[in-house]
Amino acid sequence: MARYGITTSDRVLGVTMGDLRALGKRLGCQHELAAALWASGCYEARLLTAFVADPERLRPAEMERWSRQFDNWAVCDTLCFALFDRSPHAFAQVEAWAERPEEFVRRAAFALLASLALHDRTSDDAAFLARLPLVEAAASDDRNFVKKGVSWALRSIGGRSPELHAASLELAERLASSSEPSSRWVGKDALRDLSRPAVRRRVASRAAKRASTGTGKKRPGRSPRTA
């Protein structure tokens, strides 16, 4: 795990993610338990936090406190992907973390933005277009886990709709021609993905589906957010 940058902690039990997800489903929503799991400092316990915490009860101060203790990408991404993106404070936290100096806090901004792009079924394109300048500004951060998070966010936003695909593709092309190595890497990485025929077909299919079924239906279990 340390070899892949997942954790250097010695508080690791060896429980698989599949087992953690199953345990979280069995336990259900228990916010007090989630707080205790996080406080334990154990790697798997912190992952389990994402599956038992109540997104409705999450407060910005709690999200901030946990984010400051991120010390690897796996915990960061799991909380963003399975918990934080269901919080009504999600977009505000993207804004708050996007310019932070700590590597995994800044990664959290873009892991969370990517998760919102993938999971949020209520926010319109404008909410994501408004965050593309954050992506562009952070693309010059040459820290490995930050630039990979930035690329993830850009690629995920580009997969939501034709308008967002066009805007993301334009930004990726601009970054790919940058003189800054990190920005150029992010641009090329995103450009490869966004240019794939499979991605273009998926974007077109989603647009056609929305046109035929209507928009604005809330995804079950997800809270309204302030975009």
Residue 144 burial by Cβ neighbours in a 10 Å radius (0-12, 13-18, 19+): middle
Name the percent of the chain lying above pLDDT 90.
85
CATH (domain of 169): 1.25.10
For the segment 102-110, the average pLDDT, to the nearest whole number, is: 98
**Residue 76: closest CA among 38, 119, 40:** 38
Structure tokens at 180: 């800054």
| The predicted structure's pLDDT at residue 145 | 96
Number of domains in the chain: 2
Residue 215: pLDDT band with limits 50, 70, 90: low
- Pair (3, 76) in one structural domain: no
Q: What is d(CA 178, CA 218) in angstroms, rounded to the nearest whole number?
A: 39
Range of the domain at 24: 1-54
In a domain, 224, yes or no: no
For residue 172, how many C-alpha atoms fall within 13 Å in the half-sphere facing its CB? 24
Same domain, 41 and 108: no
In this predicted structure, which of 35-49, 70-84, 198-212 has the lowest mean pLDDT? 198-212
Note whether 146 and 188 are same-domain residues. Answer: yes
Q: How confident is the model at residue 209 (pLDDT cuts 50, 70, 90)?
A: confident
User: Do 174 and 200 have their domain in common?
Assistant: yes
Is the pLDDT confidence value at 130 over 90? yes
- Residue 72 lies inside a defined structural domain of this protein: yes
Between the alpha carbon of residue 207 and those of residues 101, 160, 161, 165, 191, the distances in Å are: 37, 8, 6, 11, 21
Q: What is the mean pLDDT of the chain?
A: 93
Report if residue 147 sits inside a domain: yes
Tell me: pLDDT of 218 over 80. Answer: no
